[in-house]
Amino acid sequence: MELKTKIQAEENKQEILITREFDLPLELLFKAYTEAELVEQWMGTKVLKLENQQHGGYQFETSNPQGDVVFRANGTIHEFVQNQKITRTFQMENTPFPVQLEFLEFEKLTESTSKIVIKTIYKSVDYRDQILKLPFAQGLNMAHNRLQEIFSKEA
Amino acid sequence: MNLRRDVFQAIADPTRRSILMLVATQSMTAGAIASNFDTARPTVSKHLQILTECELLTQEQNGREMIYHLNPNKMKEIANFIEPFRQMWDEKFNKLESVMKAYQQKK
């Protein structure tokens, strides 16, 4: 089966390429990135700021059900061309991870389909690999916590 | 997470990667593995211990010697380490698609 979302991460390179085709017209795909209300829905995060223009900036924040902020990220928008591209930085606040540079390119495939290509550049190969492994590590941690929960209930 | 038992920490070392390559071609005794390296035997033993602890290698006692086998399942886990990252994005993009389809219908 052809995977819809593809990740290219060559060994010893400090960049990755994310490609995804959508069953959506180009304008709608682009809108998903530029309207705060829509970003909030699909990213599952609160949008504190989103200025879609050169020298603009953005800030996202996610809270857990108890209301504690668990994730905050921000960046600066360097290039903004409607329905074509967004070049921006991205940094997770309160983490050891340095800022990363993201090139988002939006492409029309047909009247009703489109594609996004995101090239992300990291400070080093090591940081890139650590970021790539984050969901893997989180998965392990979650499995571990789940086990602990089960065991502590039995005890 | 215990760093020692983290498979990624284990494969970060070039000697340990070479050991895995060697054992991948055929199962070997500790002595045979060590003979492929200039490094002191205790150093190689330490590497073997780490690789065994994180389950990349499995041990089998054969008389006085210990034979090391590659654990293909654990190796596969490493090959797929990008998969959770890809899935995370795939889920986000699926959500984007459904959010925007609902938005399109409202218009």
Q: Could you tell me which of A75, A18, A102, A21 has the C-alpha nearest to residue B85?
A: A18
How many Å lie between the alpha carbon of A28 and the closest alpha carbon of chain B? 7
Residues 4-33 of B with CB under 8 A from A: 8
Q: A34-43 burial string, b = 16+ CB within 10 Å, else e?
A: eeeebbebbb
Compute the count of residue pairs across chains A and B with CB atoms less than 8 Å apart.
Answer: 73
Q: Tens of pLDDT along A11-62?
A: 889 999 999 999 999 999 999 999 999 999 999 999 999 999 999 999 999 9
| Interface contact flag, B96 A141, Cβ < 8 Å | no
Q: Name the residue facing A24 among B82, B84, B97 (closest C-beta).
A: B97
pLDDT of residue B3: 43
Residue in chain B lying closest to A134 (CA): B85
Residues of A in contact with B85 (CB under 8 A): 7, 131-136
Q: Could you tell me which of A150, A55, A57 has the C-alpha nearest to residue A47?
A: A57
Calpha distance B84→A138 (Å, rounded): 9
| Interface contact flag, B95 A38, Cβ < 8 Å | no
Reported pTM: 0.69
How many Å lie between the alpha carbon of A31 and the closest alpha carbon of chain B? 8
Q: Could you tell me which of A84, A95, A79 has the C-alpha nearest to residue A117?
A: A84
Residues 27-56 of A with CB under 8 A from B: 28-29, 31-32, 38, 41-44
Helix (H, G, I), strand (E, B) or coil at B38: coil
Q: Per residue of chain B (107 residues), what is the pLDDT tens digit?
A: 344 456 766 777 778 888 988 888 889 999 999 999 888 889 999 999 999 998 899 999 988 889 999 998 887 777 677 888 888 899 999 999 999 999 998 87
pLDDT of residue A82: 97
User: Which residues, 6+ apart, have CB-to-CB distance to A17 below 8 Å?
Assistant: A6, A7, A8, A9, A117, A118, A119
By the CB < 8 Å criterion, does B106 face chain A? no
Top pLDDT among A19 and A152 is at A19
Q: What is the ipTM of this complex?
A: 0.86
| Interface contact flag, A31 B100, Cβ < 8 Å | yes
Tokens (6 digits) for B103: 């938005």
- Using an 8 Å Cβ cutoff, are B39 and B13 in contact? no
For residue A73, is pLDDT > 80? yes
Residue in chain B lying closest to A29 (CA): B100
Cα B100–Cα A19–Cα A132 angle in degrees, nearest 5? 110
For residue A150, is pLDDT > 70? no
Q: Name the residue facing A135 among B85, B101, B103 (closest C-beta).
A: B85
Q: Determine which of A17, A21, A28 to mutate to test the interface with B (most B C-beta atoms within 10 Å).
A: A28
| Interface contact flag, B85 A42, Cβ < 8 Å | no
* Burial of residue A74 (number of CB atoms within 10 Å: 0-12, 13-18, 19+): middle
Q: Name the residue facing A32 among B86, B88, B96 (closest C-beta).
A: B96
Q: Tens of pLDDT along A93-148?
A: 998 899 999 999 999 999 999 999 999 999 999 999 889 888 766 665 565 565 56
